[in-house]
Structure 1
Amino acid sequence: MFAGMQRRIISLWFPRLASDRALRVRPIDGPFVLTLKQNNANRVYCLNTQAQRQGLDRGMPYSDARAFCPDLQSHPADPQGDQRFLHALRRWATRYCPWVGLEGEDGLVLDITGSAHLAGGEEMMLTDMRRRLARAGLAVQIGLAPTRGAAWALAHYGEGVATQDTLKAIRALPVAALRLDEDTSVALQRLGLRRIGELAQTPRAPLTRRFGPEVLMRLDQALGDQPEQITPLADPPHYGVRMTLPEPIGLLSDMMAGAERLLERLCDKLKAQEKGARKLCMTLRRVDQDHQQVELRLARPLRDPYRILPLFERGLAEVDAGFGVDQLRLEATLVEPLPVRQISRAASRGKDQLDDLITRIGTRIGLEQVHRLLPAQSHIPERSFIISPAAYSDPAGGWCALRPRPLQLFPPEPIAGSGPHPPRRFRWRRMSLTSGRSTGPERICPEWWLEDENWRTGLRDYWQVETRQGRRLWLFHTPQNPGWFVHGEFA
């Protein structure tokens, strides 16, 4: 990459990444650990320096840690959040060089070859890294060497800088600094090979026969005899396009034509990544440098420009163009996976029209205000459905009920009656009704594992009652606390 220039690799190790991240949000003075459930037992996942001074260590049971340190404070660990934080640190580290990769779950590796002079030299670069990370509340150990393996070894076991002679810089470090597994490191120590310098002077053939090629490969990588590349993570794709106009525009038709061009380019990007837009934001820059935004939230992820374009018309019609708009910028601020699949036009037409209708209504009143009913796993009538925003749920199958259910449910309304059979005559909502045909009973028991004030009367016997006045009602009787109620009405 850089002819005639020695490679320079920096390894950043964050020994307390998880606990430092947690303490940045909620500072705690005293011993503190993060716990993670492993093999049905809570264990110490990460800890701060005060907890280490109390003799605690990673992996020990949390109950033992509390016995050693009664005033210990803890919080559940979040490994996924820690990885997101490490990715954020990787983006931050690109301020020093473009080649930044991840090193395990708690480290970074930087190839600063040819970049150190931009920060005033290697020493000033390392000083700036330590200062900024300390200001952020992160403990870090740094190693700098011509190879990735040597930099890792110095960061984890020596924290130093290797210049020309790499072996001289790492020869006093333990063999575990070569990134060997624990069993191999213990086996080498039993043979008397405790330091990297001792391992480098040992004949290679017996080591290969006993341990395989991995030990010598790691040694050669650390000394630079075998190459080891750094693969930087690619930045996430940016779903944004813009258009600068030679002449200002102000008519709705012109802005719609510009939106169509931008949508075609943006949807090509989305299709290449198999993504669909859920939220779009169009920014219009006027000639007086003022900006106006039109936001569009979609009921389903889309990447079809001809379906999205008409949905922008209402928002663009309300834009005050002033003396004219000279730049349009369109960005998908929220995207979701939308894999390619083969569908027929007839099968998708109705669903597409419904999604577009939900989007149009949601543009006026908000997508969260458009609801649909979904079946729920419960035999209790009031709990047999849930209300969910239509834009963030899919229609489920029909309700599975052994007996018909009324179209309309309302809170139970008491009526006069006695005995286990429906009353022949009763008054309901100021109407005098006479029972005709009755079907039942259907006994429904309360869910004892849930507290429900409406079901404290115990089990219910439901009846379908057709009155001679034409009303079809759903009545129930409570045998444990005798009484009759109307709970619903059939269509």
Structure 2
Amino acid sequence: MFDGIQRRVVSLWFPRLSSDRVLRTRPTDHPFVLTLKESNANRIHCLNAAAEQQGLYRGMSFSDARAFCPDLISQVARPDLDAQFLAALRRWGLRWCPWVAREGTDGLVLDITGSAHLFGGEQAMLEGMRQRLERAGLSIRLGLGDTRGAAWARAHYGADAALEDLPVEALRLDQSIATGLKRMGLRRIGQLSTMPRAPLARRFGPDLLLRLDQALGDRPEQISPEAEPPHYGIRMTLPDPIGLEDDVMAAANRLLIRLCDKLHAQQAGARMLCLTLRRVDSHAQQVELRLARPMRDPTRILPLFRHGVSQIDAGFGIDQVRLEAVQVESLPAEQITQTGNRDCARQDDLITRIGTRIGLDNVQRFLPADSHIPERAFIIVPATHAQAGGDWISPNPRPLRIFPPEPISATGNRPPDRFRWRRMALRTARATGPERIAPEWWLDDPDWRSGLRDYWRVETVQGRRLWLFHTPQKPGWFVQGEFA
């Protein structure tokens, strides 16, 4: 009870949510199923009414379904898109009442207490929901009750039935508990409510009594509406059209300040911004800006828009400017130090400026890799992902330039006093080593099939500082790198 008002709850169940989502745009009268891989086998995840009439069911092997129904139309299920679709339906439910939440992966629950009279009463409200959802191409089952559990039970097992006459499965129990109750002869909720509670709790655990009390209203069950995600979009409508580049930048600056204030309040930073400029002829142009790092400083972001804004054709004028943070990442507050992080900020701005011209992913950087093999000790990634790498830590120095091994004529297990490399006659002045590196046995690298390598740092009289290695198993000397 809420201040003398009887609580009323509506449960919306979409028994074919996944298939309805797909068939809304591509309807068909033929049997249609969505498949999902489970335990190394494709099984039916959802199906339409025509497929059910052919004897197909959820969880059925897809190969068996094709044998039963040769003209079956199938598609791979997308649970992520189903979740997005259900979230959109939850937002649609807010037109009926402010308390709407998702119920599992295929349902909604609405607390319509005090809202039904706005739509002509409860039955008129339910009929309005049904008609709108059916016009949208969705299969719908509705249930109304004084509790969340009762509404769910009627939506799944009978909208007009009394709660006591519904099967025990209507209490949202695990299948094992429902099977155990049936073996005891308890098939209806009414039978279960008259049984002694202590033996039931000892045998089936506390969840059984909790679900029973929630359905009967003896224990409260809240409906917590989901918080709307923050929207990072700001729009400005201009009283007079503008066309000069400086005027557009001034409008973008005003929007940036407001947007960055919102980002700062959410401890977030923008990674991708979209500036939309609508002309008086209703034609819109966009300037996209991808940032090297999450940012929320308008003084740093604004100059980065200059190149894209300069390419805009204002036509007869721009009367509306909209700025949206399309991609947002977490950016918690950092401790301010005396030195600050000014050099990194300048580097990020430079990467962003270059990326706006050649593509942000084309600006690349070397990062250390977890391998002691010289050729595998680094990876090349976009510079925007460079923070994911670790530090360059090596117990022994590595040359600045590494290239494929180049053989030289030499014998013995120590660096030769004289040798020729790239048509140059060189003489060893100093040699440091060896550093033995063994191949990684879990990788089949043809360049390392010769086995161990003993690396030497060789300084020549001619000034060359080379990285040589010797292969003991198959004697030979090679040059693989050169120090700066």
Tell me, yes or no, whether TM beats 0.5: yes
Q: Distance in 1 between matches of 2:240 and 2:317?
A: 8
Q: How does 1:60-459 map to 2 (within 5 A)?
A: 83-84=83-84, 86-91=86-91, 99-110=99-110, 113=116, 122-123=126-127, 125-126=129-130, 129-130=133-134, 132-133=136-137, 142-147=141-146, 148-158=148-158, 160=159, 162=160, 169-179=162-172, 194-198=187-191, 202=194, 207=197, 222=215, 230-344=223-337, 346-394=339-387, 396-459=389-452
Q: 1:439-471: CA deviations, max 9, x gaps?
A: 222221211211222223322221111111010
Aligned to 1:12: 13
**How many Å apart are 1:47 and its aligned residue?**
4.7
Distance 1:229 1:66, change over 3 A: closer
Query: Contact 1:461–1:478 (CA<8 Å) still a contact in 2?
Result: yes
Q: Distance in 1 between matches of 2:206 and 2:405?
A: 78
**How many Å apart are 1:222 and its aligned residue?**
4.6
Q: TM-score, normalised by structure 2?
A: 0.79
**How many Å apart are 1:488 and its aligned residue?**
0.2
Q: 1:308-353: CA deviations, max 9, x gaps?
A: 1111122222222233222211111111111233332523222212
Report how many residues are paired: 466
**How many Å apart are 1:354 and its aligned residue?**
1.6
Query: Contact 1:32–1:51 (CA<8 Å) still a contact in 2?
Result: no
Query: Contact 1:44–1:57 (CA<8 Å) still a contact in 2?
Result: no
Residue identity in the other structure for 2:141: I
Q: 1:244-279: CA deviations, max 9, x gaps?
A: 112222222222211111001111221222221111
Distance 1:344 1:480, change over 3 A: same
Aligned to 2:468: 475
Matched position secondary structure for 1:171: helix
Q: Distance in 1 between matches of 2:455 and 2:253?
A: 58
**How many Å apart are 1:489 and its aligned residue?**
0.3
Unaligned runs of 5+ in 2: 69-73
Q: Distance in 2 between matches of 1:373 and 1:255?
A: 38
Residue identity in the other structure for 1:303: R
Question: Mean Cα displacement is larger for which, 422-431 or 190-199?
Answer: 190-199
Q: Distance in 1 between matches of 2:169 and 2:97?
A: 29
Q: TM-score, normalised by structure 1?
A: 0.78
Query: Contact 2:271–2:291 (CA<8 Å) still a contact in 1?
Result: yes
Q: Distance in 2 between matches of 1:416 and 1:75?
A: 63
Query: Contact 1:472–1:489 (CA<8 Å) still a contact in 2?
Result: yes
Q: 1:182-223: CA deviations, max 9, x gaps?
A: 7876787688654234456x49xx659976998788667656
Query: Contact 2:35–2:62 (CA<8 Å) still a contact in 1?
Result: no
Query: Contact 2:44–2:62 (CA<8 Å) still a contact in 1?
Result: no
Residue identity in the other structure for 1:454: D
Question: Mean Cα displacement is larger for which, 27-36 or 307-316?
Answer: 27-36
Matched position secondary structure for 1:246: strand
Question: Mean Cα displacement is larger for which, 115-124 or 247-256?
Answer: 115-124
Residue identity in the other structure for 1:142: R
Q: Distance in 2 between matches of 1:238 and 1:31?
A: 36
Question: Mean Cα displacement is larger for which, 277-286 or 113-122?
Answer: 113-122
Q: Distance in 2 between matches of 1:237 and 1:266?
A: 11
**How many Å apart are 1:100 and its aligned residue?**
3.3
Question: Mean Cα displacement is larger for which, 173-182 or 428-437?
Answer: 173-182
Q: Distance in 1 between matches of 2:374 and 2:245?
A: 51
Matched position secondary structure for 1:347: coil
Q: Distance in 2 between matches of 1:220 and 1:401?
A: 64
Distance 1:470 1:194, change over 3 A: same
Q: Distance in 2 between matches of 1:230 and 1:254?
A: 49
Matched position secondary structure for 2:354: helix
CA RMSD of aligned residues (A): 4.5
Distance 1:380 1:45, change over 3 A: same
Matched position secondary structure for 1:464: strand
Q: Distance in 2 between matches of 1:245 and 1:460?
A: 71
Residue identity in the other structure for 1:175: V
Query: Contact 1:19–1:33 (CA<8 Å) still a contact in 2?
Result: no
Aligned to 1:165: none
Q: Distance in 1 between matches of 2:242 and 2:465?
A: 63
Query: Contact 2:289–2:356 (CA<8 Å) still a contact in 1?
Result: yes
Question: Mean Cα displacement is larger for which, 288-297 or 395-404?
Answer: 395-404
**How many Å apart are 1:224 and its aligned residue?**
6.9
Distance 1:479 1:198, change over 3 A: closer
Distance 1:224 1:187, change over 3 A: same
Query: Contact 2:278–2:284 (CA<8 Å) still a contact in 1?
Result: yes
Question: Mean Cα displacement is larger for which, 398-407 or 119-128?
Answer: 119-128
Aligned to 1:137: none
Residue identity in the other structure for 1:471: R
Question: Mean Cα displacement is larger for which, 343-352 or 86-95?
Answer: 86-95
Residue identity in the other structure for 2:12: S
Query: Contact 1:299–1:356 (CA<8 Å) still a contact in 2?
Result: yes
Distance 1:53 1:407, change over 3 A: same
Q: Distance in 2 between matches of 1:210 and 1:462?
A: 74
Distance 1:83 1:487, change over 3 A: same
Q: Distance in 1 between matches of 2:117 and 2:358?
A: 56
Residue identity in the other structure for 1:87: A
Unaligned runs of 5+ in 1: 135-139, 163-167
Aligned to 1:460: 453
Distance 1:423 1:290, change over 3 A: same
